[in-house]
Amino acid sequence: GKPGQGPAAAPQGWVVRRTSGEMGGLNCEVGELGRLNTKNQQTIVNITSLNSSDLEEVLKGELSGNFEKTALALLDRPCEYDARELRKAMKGAGTDESVLIEILCTRVNKQIVDIKEAYKRLFERDLESDVKSDTSGSLRKILVSVLQANRDEGLEIDAELAGQDAKDLYEAGEGCWGTDELVFNVVLAKRNYMQLRATFQAYEKLKGKDIEDAIKSETSGDLEKAFLTLVRCARDCQGYFATRLYEAMKGAGTEEETLIRILVTRAEIDLQTIKEKFHKLYNKSLVEAIKSETSGDFRKLLVSLLH
C-alpha cells in the first residue's frame, strides 16, 4: 500500500524500519511483515502519518514485551538507542557491565561521540561521569579510554610500532607480576584495527602465545571481557557479534535483550556479514537459530530484520 492509505489498503501487517537519516527523527521505510496478530497489525498499519514521538506513544500503549522493545528500538536513532541501553545498564542497583562493554568497546569514534551527545540530550547527564561512578578499578580505566574516541581510524600499518607494542604488552602482562593495564589501554583503545592485527601477530611471534590466551591467564571478570572484546573486534567485529548472538541463545533460556540489541544496532551496518559469519562459525543459519529460540510477532520482527 502507499504510505498514508487507510488500514483497508493494508490488510497485511506492516512494520516501520528506521532508515538512518542524517537529521535524525524518524524516516519511515514501511516494509511488509507476514501476518502479525490482529492487535499488533492494526497498531502498526497506517503509521506513516504519525510523527516519531506520537508513534512511540501509540506503540507503547498498544504493544507489550519483547515485541514492543524491538519496535521501539527501531524508532530510535542508533546513537539514542545505545544511550538508552547504557543508561538502563547503569540505572538502579547494580550495573550490567557486559552491556557497557559490548557497546563501548565495539563502536567507532563517530558513534562514541554521537552516543555521548545523545546521552546528554536524553538524560541531562554526562556519560563519562556516569561510567566513572558506576565502575571501578581497571575496568573503569579501559572504558574511560574508549570513551575518549581517540582511535586512529586509518589503515596504515607501522611494523616497527607493532613490534614495540607487542613487546610492551608482554612486559606489562605476562612478563611480570600484575598486569599494567595502562599499556593495554593505550594500545587497545588508540591503535587502528589493521595496526592491532599486526601487533597481535608480532606478539604471537615474540611469545609463541596468542594475545587472547595471555589476556585470559592474566586478567579475569569484566576486565578480561573488555580486553577480549577489543581484541576480537579488531580481529573480526562481525565474528564477535556472531559469537555474542550464539552465546545469547545457547543453554537454557535465551537472552532476548542481547538479541534485540545486536540485531537492531547492526541492522544497517553489517548484519548480513554477521549472518554469514554465524553460519561459518556454527554451521547453522542465524535465521533458523532465532526462529527456534523465539516465537510469535517478536520472532517475525527479528526475522524481518535479517532479510
Pick from 29, 76, 22, 82: nearest CA to 53: 76
> Does residue 21 lie in a domain region?
yes
Pick from 146, 136, 34, 132: nearest CA to 101: 146
Domain count for the chain, please give it: 1
Dmax of the chain from CA atoms? Answer: 72
> Does residue 33 lie in a domain region?
yes
> Does residue 50 lie in a domain region?
yes
> Does residue 28 lie in a domain region?
yes
**Three cell numbers, residue 234:** 579488531
8 A C-beta contact, residue 260 and residue 66: yes
> Does residue 259 lie in a domain region?
no
pLDDT digits (tens, 9 = 90+) for 90-147: 998 889 999 999 999 999 999 999 999 999 999 999 999 999 999 999 999 999 999 9
pLDDT digits (tens, 9 = 90+) for 15-49: 444 444 443 333 333 344 444 444 454 445 444 44
CA separation for the pair 56, 75 (Å, rounded): 8
Pick from 207, 190, 99: nearest CA to 147: 190
> Does residue 26 lie in a domain region?
yes
Is the pLDDT at 10 greater than 50? The verdict is no
Is the pLDDT at 14 greater than 50? The verdict is no
pLDDT digits (tens, 9 = 90+) for 48-101: 445 566 666 666 666 668 988 888 888 888 999 999 999 999 998 889 999 999
Of 176-180, 219-223, 263-267, the range with the lowest mean pLDDT is 176-180
State the pTM of this model: 0.82
Residue, of 183 and 75, whose pLDDT is higher: 183
In percent, the amount of the chain with pLDDT more than 70 equals 77
Question: Could you please report the per-residue DSSP string of 79-113?
Answer: HHHHHHHHHHHHSSSS--HHHHHHHHTT--HHHHH
Q: 34 lies in which domain range?
A: 7-63
> Does residue 122 lie in a domain region?
no
> Does residue 42 lie in a domain region?
yes
Residue range 281-289: average pLDDT? 98
Pick from 139, 133, 127, 130: nearest CA to 185: 139
Predicted local confidence at residue 227, as pLDDT: 96
In the three-class reduction of DSSP (H, G, I as helix; E, B as strand; rest coil), residue 269 is classed as coil
CA separation for the pair 144, 233 (Å, rounded): 18
Is the pLDDT at 224 greater than 90? The verdict is yes
